[in-house]
Structure 1
Amino acid sequence: MKEQTLKEQTLKELWSSLDPNEQANMLRFFGAKLFVAPQTAICYLRGYRPMPVKKRPVLTDYAAKNHAVKLKFS
């Protein structure tokens, strides 16, 4: 089986590369799995606030499985 290579992106870069339907799915994921209000999720996704360290592993798994992206955090 061939290993899939993941491209590295920040959360903001991933968010801006998504179409509106994928963005809506990601907002739903933030609410369902990360227990974050939509307004707070938007702040994380647009880079206004840093993502809490405790929530990063779940988000990293989601990005890798659904978008083939390895998230990088500063």
Structure 2
Amino acid sequence: MTRDVVNARRRVVAQRKRKDMLEEDRERAKARRRELYRNRNMNSCSERLPLSDDESFNTDETVWDF
């Protein structure tokens, strides 16, 4: 094989590797965005609903008027 053919093959292999790496990065970024979006939705729900004992009212001290 001539030097040109060897260099061309190396170039093609390097391009394929770069393309594969870009696809993997894209998939990782999608998964990260999905996770961040899911976390943001969970946080917004927890901000609207009092989940801790401090924020929720205590039913033992509540006077029920029927």
TM bracket (short chain): under 0.3
Larger radius of gyration: 2
| Structure richer in helix, relative to its length | 2
